[in-house]
A and B are shown apart, each in its own frame.
Chain A
Amino acid sequence: MSGREQPTVTQGRVAELPAALRAAGIAARPDAGPVGPASLLMVPPDNWGKAAGVAAGLGLRWSAVWGEHRPPEILVTAVLFGQDGHLLLRTALPEAGAELTSQTPHYPAANRPERYIQDMFGVYFVDHPDGRRWMCHQAWWQDQFPLRKDFPVAGTPEAETPPDYEYPFQTIVGEGVYEIPVGPVHAGIIEPGHFRFQAVGETILAMEEHLGYVHRGVEKIAEGRDLAGLARLAGRVSGDSTVAHTWAACQAAERALGVTVPARALALRAIMAERERIANHLGDIGAIGNDVGFTFAQVQFSRLRELWQRQSLSAFGHRLLMDRIVPGGVAIDLAAPMIEAFQAEATQLRAEIEELLPLLLEYPSLQDRLRGTGVLAPVLARRLGALGFVGRASNLQDDLRRDAPYPPYDRLRVEVPAYRQGDVAKRLRVRGDEIGVALGLIEQMLGDLPEGPLLAHCPPSGHECAGLGLIEGWRGETVCYLRLDAAGRVLRYFPRDPSWLNWPVLESLIHDNIVPDFPVCNKSVNGSYAGHDL
């Protein structure tokens, strides 16, 4: 059994990008953009793809891309990450006949986000390797673009939206090759999506995802909301990441408006974020056991998760911590007696984990199912830009809490576990390790909880402004872009869940596994359908 080896982190520096772009003959110019930790670099539209090639050459990690309709222009903005933090790369193109070169040849993670922009904004990516629609099913026509400003929020839907039968899946032809369609309604208590397997016997040759079934128009219905309404919506982008998305949205708003959040509120936000991380890891460790018939793990870890959620309810008034983070701070204080209760709880959970995890890690018939299953090689994790614990189990160690710390993590020491094997067993183990780290962070924060107010006022700025939110949620780097009008109402809201990058990883790691192992592989990655579908 191999232990921890030297993990890798993102190598390049975003500060070197402007010079590298100019050396490549790309007219890049800095611009005053969203307020936040990232600078903004404008590049001409015809060099959009080429600029990504230069960034990839520097070793920068590609993180997100989104569109924004500012008639008569469409802005497309990508986020890059280096050792020295984030950088926004932006281009502006006319809305009529909008065309752009693709970044996908240099960064495979851009594949679906670019197709999403194509569906939602009508920007055509000329050299994209996969021109198929992505979010557009049958609820609107392919020549309608819901996130353009002239598309009404009500749309023009038919009374009954037909099922999306005609999505052109890739097929494999050959003797004995057969196809298994799964979903959108799955067998378990789980979100909807479609998986199309190409298999021979029990072996999966390929699996293709077709998502978008829970597209609820989050970005469109955000437009015109006030900040309180935005925070409520952000809390429902993905229910298991309600803290991460609400924090990211509030952080973006606070940066846009220049609001300083009180220290106590920041600490409470981080305590909630670590509680969310622990709750989800507990639930998933149990569910991974359950997916290979090891109910002991399910019973024990669902017990721990339930106790954890009950404590969240008694301390903060909500089992999933929805609507506890609000623009400017938090909606609820941590009462003094609860601090002691949290400390006792942390001690108790650590003891439980230290007792239970070895039982799982050393139980031969469980490990026999988990080791070597769903392997994501480190080189592939890096190429696909895998985030969070999925990346960390494949030796990719990036973690914003350590590498680009936002308050209060700038005052805390965050250890980041990493392994090389990249199989289900290590994804489980990383989660176990992360519970320990999160408990340590909670204890540190409880021991040094600042006094003071919980809420800062967030008045409208009187002019248009934009901000960027960047939070390390339990799934990984969570991005939020926000533009507000002079009255503080939302002009554009884009939440980028880590699942955008981790869903394609599942397609990759499932190759050559057996069909019955798909559920455990899926659970070990646990992408959010709602967070992706928006």
Chain B
Amino acid sequence: MLHIFDKIMRTGRLTEPVAQPEKAVAEIGATFSREIAARFGGSLAIRMVDAGSCNGCELEMNAANNGFYDIERFGIHFVASPRHADLLLVTGTVSRHMQAALQRTWEATPNPKFVVAMGDCAASGGEFGISYASCGAVANVIPVDAVIPGCPPTPITLLQGLLELLRR
């Protein structure tokens, strides 16, 4: 136990300041308004939905929770149920096998709600596009309010993107 305390003390504080976001968000839809800052400025609950991702975006989303980025210090936290969420963070080209699940997750999220498409697949279909197996971009299935591009977006891009949305 003492060894653990000792290591914690020696590790110290990891958390880094986040530079002012510089255009991390590529597209912001008309429905995304100042409302989000006013309503959710202090506390944004995110339900993530992997709708057909390779898992790259999830790795970086997890990294945004590590000590260096500590996304929770901005009041942004990931929740277990869409019923507790303000925002859906959707990754992946939407596989047809996930289409109904994504739609239902969106329906289960209380209003007002926002959708952010994370990563190139969610933004445009990426390497996968539209096929017998895939619906392509998230916007083909549910309304999307903003897009954070990258393959995958880095944790800092994701964090800056979300902060940019909160500060508008």
With both beta carbons as reference points, the residue of chain B lying nearest to A320 in the complex is identified as B56
B78 closest partner in A (C-beta) = A189
Query: Is the C-beta of B41 less than 8 angstroms from some C-beta in chain A?
Result: no
Contact status B131-A530, CB under 8 Å: no
A279, closest chain B residue (CB): B59
Could you tell me the distance between the alpha carbons of A359 and B49 in the complex, rounded to whole angstroms? 35
What's the Cα separation between A302 and B68 when bound, in Å? Answer: 9
B residues 115-156 near A (Cβ < 8 Å) are: 126-134, 151-152, 154
Identify A320's interface contact among B3, B81, B152, CB under 8 A.
B152
Q: Are A191 and B55 in contact (CB under 8 A)?
A: yes
Is B50 part of the binding interface, using a Cβ–Cβ cutoff of 8 Å?
Answer: yes
Asked if A319 meets B60 with Cβ closer than 8 Å, knowing A216-B134, A303-B67, A359-B7, the reply is: yes
Verify B127–A232 contact, CB threshold 8 A: yes
CA distance A237 to B127 in the complex (A): 10
Binary contact readout A157-179 vs B (1 if CB under 8 angstroms, 0 otherwise): 10011111000000000000000
Could you tell me if A154 and B130 are in contact, using CB atoms closer than 8 angstroms?
yes
Per-residue CB proximity of A284-318 to B under 8 Å, as 1/0? 00000000000010011011011001000100000
Known interface pairs A160-B99, A191-B50, A306-B68; A239-B152 also in contact (CB < 8 Å): yes
Cβ contact within 8 Å between A322 and B132: no
Chain B residues whose C-beta falls within 8 Å of the C-beta of A161 in the assembled complex: 96-97, 99-100
**What separation, in Å, do the CA atoms of A532 and B129 have in the docked complex?**
19
**With A236-B54, A322-B56 known to touch, is A305 a contact of B134 (CB < 8 Å)?**
no
**Contact indicator B95/A216 (Cβ below 8 Å):** yes
Chain A CB count within 10 A is highest, among B48, B57, B134, B154, for B134
Residues of chain B within 8 A (CB-CB) of A395 are: none
Q: How far is the CA of A212 from the CA of B58 in the complex (A)?
A: 18
Contact at B52–A140, with CB atoms within 8 Å? Answer: no
Residues of A within 8 A of B133 (CB): 139, 146, 155, 215-217, 220
Stretch from A54-62, A180-188, A198-206, A368-376 at the B interface: A180-188
A351: Cβ under 8 A from any B Cβ: no
A380 at the interface (CB under 8 A from B): no
**B60: chain A residues within 8 A (beta carbon):** 319-320
Q: How many A-B residue pairs have CB under 8 A?
A: 171
Is A214 interfacial (CB-CB < 8 Å)? yes
The interface residues of chain A lying within 8 Å CB-to-CB of B18 are none
Q: Does A238 contact B (CB under 8 A)?
A: yes
A233 at the interface (CB under 8 A from B): yes
Whether the Cβ atoms of B126 and A185 lie closer than 8 Å is no
A481 interface contact, C-beta 8 A: no
Residues B97 and A303 in contact, CB atoms below 8 Å apart: no
B151 A240 Cβ-Cβ under 8 A: no
Closest to B48 in A: A189
Partner of A530, one of B3, B55, B65, B81: B55
CB contacts (< 8 Å) of A313 on chain B: these are 154
* B48 neighbours in A (Cβ, 8 Å): 189
Contacts of A283 in B (CB 8 A): 59, 62
User: Inside 8 A of A156's CB, which chain B residues have their CB?
Assistant: 132
Which of B51, B95, B126 has the most chain A CB within a 10 Å cutoff? B95
A126 sits at the interface (CB 8 A): no
Interface centre among B52, B60, B104 (most CB of A within 10 A): B52
A-side contacts of B104, CB under 8 Å: 163
Cβ-neighbour of B131 out of A153, A189, A319 (below 8 A): A153
Bound CA–CA A161/B8 (angstroms): 50
In addition to A189-B58, A191-B58, A300-B11, 20 A-B residue pairs with Cβ atoms within 8 Å of each other are A153-B131, A160-B99, A163-B104, A187-B81, A191-B50, A212-B97, A216-B131, A217-B131, A217-B132, A218-B128, A220-B133, A236-B54, A239-B55, A240-B55, A283-B59, A302-B63, A303-B67, A319-B154, A322-B56, A528-B55
Q: Across the A-B interface, give the 4 residue pairs with the lowest CB-CB distance, nearest first.
A: A155-B132, A239-B56, A217-B133, A139-B96
On A, residues with C-beta under 8 Å from B are 137-140, 146, 151-157, 160-164, 184-185, 187-192, 212-218, 220-221, 232-233, 236-240, 242, 283, 296, 299-300, 302-303, 305-306, 309, 313, 319-320, 322, 355-356, 359, 363, 528-530, 533
Query: Can you offer 16 A-B residue contacts whose CB atoms are under 8 A?
Result: A153-B132, A154-B130, A160-B99, A185-B105, A189-B58, A189-B78, A191-B55, A192-B51, A214-B50, A215-B95, A217-B134, A221-B127, A239-B58, A240-B56, A302-B65, A533-B95
Query: B residues bordering A, Cβ < 8 Å?
Result: 3-4, 7-8, 11, 14, 48-63, 65-68, 78, 80-82, 92-93, 95-101, 103-105, 126-134, 151-152, 154
